[in-house]
A and B are shown apart, each in its own frame.
Chain A
Amino acid sequence: MSLDLHYKQEKPPDIARKRNLWPRNRMVGANYLYYILLAAVIGAFGYYLYTYRDLSLLYLPEMIRGALVTLLVSVLSGICAIIFGLLGAFGSLARFRPLRWLTGIYVEVIRGTPLLVQLYLWYYGIRLLLSNIGFDPHDMLFNSMTVLQSNSLVPDSFNIFFYGILGLSFNYGAYLTEVFRTGILSVERGQSEAALSLGLDERQTMRYIILPQAIRSIIPPLTNNFITLIQDSAFLSVIAVIELEYITIGFALPQADSNQKMYVFVLGALLYLVMCYPLSVAARMMERRLTPDHA
């Protein structure tokens, strides 16, 4: 048996078609039965959702608001993670040896400890340390927004968001460092040698020759990491960031009936799926387009 891909079969030659010899992926009766059963299962799931529709009417608006917060947090963390990743990648490729050493330590420590521990560290450890020194992001933003007459826009829980996003992006920056590094190193040496011999200096080589070609090999792992980032933003709920998982847990656990508890958890998971599944389908389509065909 072979683990073959589900590719489209080509047209068979006439003789094979006439004699019914060509193996075709026909829809057999059993296939129809499977799809009918799948539709029935999805219908049953829809009925399950309908049975507890009063719970969904009650909780869904708040959960969707939480999902928007999750998306916002993920996008902000993603941008900061890309920044950290670029800094780390250039640091690990630098000629200055202590910088390479420092970046190596950054990547190894962050990749060797759980995200949960890092979030706790940022929130319970570093935040307290910095606030003892006097660094308080919420107060700083509040004071600066007062100048612009809009300090009511700053939420009270800004500190939590600040350190949560910082923790997430610091963590993913380490993984993206490796992704960017691999991408940059995957561009053939000949390209940079040719560019340098044609008279471009190092910065121009990097900017005009290497990075555009590196982006091709960077994009697939980048999108996969971003999808994982959206899911890992659920971890922020343990440091009381009010995003989707926090709201789900807050609504589900007080439920007296276990079935209702399960329903709220399933609703939360469904919202995550709705957010992540289209992205992963899109990521896979993009990956297929970007991968060159090796004949």
Chain B
Amino acid sequence: MDVIWPTIPDFLVGTRNTLFYCLASFPIALVLGMFLALMDGSRIVWLHGPARIFIEVVRGTPILAQIFIIYYGLGALLGLINPSWALLINVWTAGIGTLALNYAAYEAEVYRAGFLSVEQGQAEAALSLGLSPSQNFFHIQLPQAIPLMIPPFVNDFIYLLKDSAIVSVIAGSDLTSVLNSYVRTHASNPLPFFLLAIVLYLVMSLPVSYVAKRLERRLRAAL
């Protein structure tokens, strides 16, 4: 136990960095996911084609492979176009970018499910009452779809908290990287550090999952 005390500040910095990765990439994932869902639901094949391909590729490859491709590969590609653009790719941007792109694909499915859950009758009634398609979308469908989509979004945020550990393989500075460095140096007695890291992760994720369950219960009661 006394082994841990001097290392706690490092672990707290790691926790702060993990939260930073998650809070930075989740909004980007939500916005990108919305555009992706709109593209995917369109009848225009120029839109739903590339969107479908993106979603299938992102969901079919491991996030580990994606982060390596973006960190090592994209830097090289950007460097070909314009040498100063290669400086854009560092651990932070690669991590946040990979997490955002990966989760955008999953959020697109959530948006799609949310909009499909709003009854078709609502849209038909709106259009037959004379509302324009965009009025129908913004005033009828969207307000009814958003409460249905919030519990899956919160669940996805919990998954994001854990998937943020992936940046440790490209030497990011989140909680798992701190844990990794201490476990490598204290190989004879690593268990206290594991305990500390697990407690910190639970402190981050349990409140969110509690909120998610409460929201889900309220939503199910409302239905």
Of A1, A4, A116, A232, the contact of B62 (CB 8 Å cutoff): A232
Nearest-neighbour CB distance to chain A for B214, whole angstroms, equals 15
Residue in chain A with minimal CB distance to B186: A124
Complex alpha-carbon distance, A276 and B65, angstroms: 13
Q: Which of A85-93, A107-115, A137-145, A197-205 forms contacts with chain B?
A: A107-115
- Interface contact A272-B60, CB-CB below 8 Å: yes
Structural contact, B76 and A258, CB atoms closer than 8 A: yes
User: Which of B25-33, B93-101, B195-203 forms contacts with chain A?
Assistant: B195-203
Q: Is the interface of B mostly helix, strand, loop or mixed?
A: helix
Q: Which residue of B lies closest to A261 (CB)?
A: B72
User: Residue on B with the closest CB to A249?
Assistant: B68
Interface pair A273/B190, CB less than 8 Å apart: no
B73 x A266 contact (CB < 8 A): yes
Supposing A117-B176, A280-B60 touch, asked if A252 and B68 sit within 8 A by C-beta, the answer is yes
B198 touches A234 (CB 8 A): no
User: Which residue from A2, A30, A232 sits with its C-beta under 8 Å from B123?
Assistant: A2
Residue B144 CB within 8 A of the other chain: no
**Per-residue 0/1 for A1-16: is the Cβ within 8 Å of any B Cβ (1 yes, 0 no)?**
1111110000000000
Contact partners of A237 in chain B: CB under 8 A: 64
Number of A-B residue pairs having CB atoms within 8 Å of each other in the complex: 153
Check: A238 CB closer than 8 A to any chain B CB: yes
Is A291's beta carbon under 8 Å from chain B? no
Residues of A219-274 at the interface with B, using a CB-CB cut-off of 8 Å, are: 231-235, 237-238, 245, 248-249, 252-253, 258-259, 261-262, 265-266, 268-269, 272-273
5 further interface pairs, Cβ-Cβ under 8 Å (given A1-B137, A3-B115, A259-B76): A3-B116, A117-B176, A117-B198, A125-B191, A237-B64
Which of A116, A125, A269 is B65 in contact with, Cβ under 8 Å?
A269
Mark interface residues in B167-209 (1 if CB within 8 Å of A CB, else 0).
0110000001001100100011011001001100110011001
CB neighbours of B201 from chain A (8 A): 112-114, 117
| Interface residues of B, Cβ cutoff 8 Å to A | 37-38, 40-46, 48-49, 56-57, 59-66, 68-69, 72-73, 75-77, 79, 112, 115-116, 123, 133-134, 137, 141, 158, 162-166, 168-169, 176, 179-180, 183, 187-188, 190-191, 194, 197-198, 201-202, 205-206, 209
CA distance A275 to B187 in the complex (A): 36
**Complex CA distance for A114 and B165, rounded to whole angstroms:** 7
Most buried by B among A3, A113, A248, A259: A3
Asked if A149 is an interface residue, CB under 8 A from chain B, the answer is: no
Interface: A121 (CB within 8 A)? yes
Residues of A near B202 (CB, < 8 A) are 108-109, 112-113
Are the CB atoms of B64 and A245 closer together than 8 Å? yes
Instruction: Knowing A129-B191, A238-B169 are in contact, say whether A120-B180 is a contact too (CB < 8 A).
Output: yes
Asked if residues A31 and B45 are in contact (CB atoms below 8 Å), the reply is yes
Q: Which residue on chain B has the smallest CB distance to residue A25?
A: B43
Taking CB atoms, residues of chain A closer than 8 Å to B37 are 3
**Max chain A C-beta neighbours (<10 A), residue from B42, B75, B165, B169:** B165
